[in-house]
Amino acid sequence: MPCTQSPYKDYHYEERRVGSSVEFTVKNLSKTRAKIITTYATCLLNKVVVVLLMLATTSIWLEEHKPAYQYVGESTLSKIATAYPQWLLGFLRNKTPTIALLSLWVLAIMALMKRPYKIESLFVVHGIGLQVYSSGGYYFMGQTTFLNLDSIIDLVIHEGFKGLEVIFFMTILVKDKDRTVVIFPDLLPRRELLERVWRESRTCLYSDQPERFRKPELK
């Protein structure tokens, strides 16, 4: 079975120019507005459900642990909790330790912080260098790599294999390094997009070095 790879046309691509700098951003979102709205709406709905369930869980927990808060049992949150399975209601009402409730809240917060899509970007600043960013699975995660102009040899598009599929990926050749830095390492967009980013990035980065754009003379 060949490895799956989203086609280039399905990526949400953004190109933003500010003065002598340019930023290229790729997200694994569809370009279709309706699909983008659906993705955001589904993510928001999931987060609302998680918050309501955790507030209802806390309401039930307070009924047993904080007698002074008995009025909470008549609230809408408590009514939501009545839809819970009986074993879960029994677990919450049988003097559930505080650490158990806190653990549930930690899991809920992790669910709320989960990112619904992947973001990878390349930020190029003329005369200074470039910055590569790749988001993680959560909003507080991400990896950023900055390379100054003096440490960059060039940007190159490679051809390789992923399983049985031919893929293309763009890398930054770095001086005094035994490895290269891959741009868009997880999304791996199609060649058409990589060629555009490669061309625009080199133009921005080396606009004052015309010798880099000359074709080699064949002897």
Task: Indicate the pLDDT class of residue 205, thresholds 50, 70 and 90.
Answer: confident
DSSP state of 19: T
- Give the domain-ending residue among 83, 112, 141: 112
Note down the domain range covering 16: 8-29+117-213
What is the percentage of the chain residues whose pLDDT exceeds 70? 73
Q: Are residues 132 and 152 in the same domain?
A: yes
pLDDT of the residue at 75: 56
Report residue 131 as tokens: 């910055």
pLDDT at 32 > cutoff 90: no
Task: Indicate the pLDDT class of residue 87, thresholds 50, 70 and 90.
Answer: low
pLDDT at 200 > cutoff 50: yes
pLDDT at 5 > cutoff 60: no
Q: Which of 157, 155, 174 is nearest to 166 (CA)?
A: 157
Tell me if 218 is assigned to some domain: no
Scan for tokens 């609302």, then name that residue: 48
Instruction: Break the chain down into helix, strand, coil percent, rounded to 5.
Output: 45, 30, 30
Question: The CATH number of the domain where 180 resides is what?
Answer: 2.30.29
pLDDT of the residue at 23: 92
- Give the domain-ending residue among 56, 77, 112: 112
Tell me if 65 is assigned to some domain: yes
Task: Indicate the pLDDT class of residue 82, thresholds 50, 70 and 90.
Answer: low
- Give the domain-ending residue among 112, 135, 159: 112
Q: How far apart, in whole angstroms, are the C-alpha atoms of residue 44 and residue 53?
A: 14
Q: What separation in angstroms does the CA of 142 have from each of 165, 172, 179, 200, 218?
A: 27, 19, 20, 25, 45
Specify the 3-state DSSP secondary structure of 139.
coil
pLDDT of the residue at 65: 65
Phi, then psi, of 178 in degrees rounded to 5: -95, 10
Q: Are residues 108 and 121 in the same domain?
A: no
Q: Are residues 25 and 42 in the same domain?
A: no
Q: Are residues 24 and 84 in the same domain?
A: no
**Choice among 69-78, 85-94, 194-203 with the minimum mean pLDDT:** 69-78
Q: Are residues 82 and 167 in the same domain?
A: no
Q: How far apart, in whole angstroms, are the C-alpha atoms of residue 214 and residue 216?
A: 6
Q: How far apart, in whole angstroms, are the C-alpha atoms of residue 85 and residue 39?
A: 29
Q: Are residues 25 and 128 in the same domain?
A: yes
Q: How far apart, in whole angstroms, are the C-alpha atoms of residue 158 and residue 132?
A: 17
- pTM greater than the 0.85 cutoff: no
Task: Indicate the pLDDT class of residue 49, thresholds 50, 70 and 90.
Answer: confident
| CB of 101 closer than 8 Å to CB of 88 | no
Q: Cβ neighbours of residue 141 under 8 Å, at least 6 residues apart?
A: 135
Q: How far apart, in whole angstroms, are the C-alpha atoms of residue 109 and residue 93?
A: 23
Q: Are residues 157 and 189 in the same domain?
A: yes
Element (H, E) at 100: helix 98-112
pLDDT of the residue at 121: 93
Tell me if 219 is assigned to some domain: no
Q: Are residues 103 and 179 in the same domain?
A: no
- Alpha helices for the chain (secondary structure H): 33-65, 76-81, 86-93, 98-112, 191-205
For the chain, the domain total comes to: 2
Q: Are residues 136 and 173 in the same domain?
A: yes
How many other CB atoms sit within 10 Å of the CB of residue 90? Answer: 11
Q: Are residues 133 and 191 in the same domain?
A: yes
Q: What are 138-170's pLDDT values in tens digits?
A: 888 888 999 988 888 888 888 888 777 788 889
CA angle (174, 178, 182) in 5-degree steps: 55
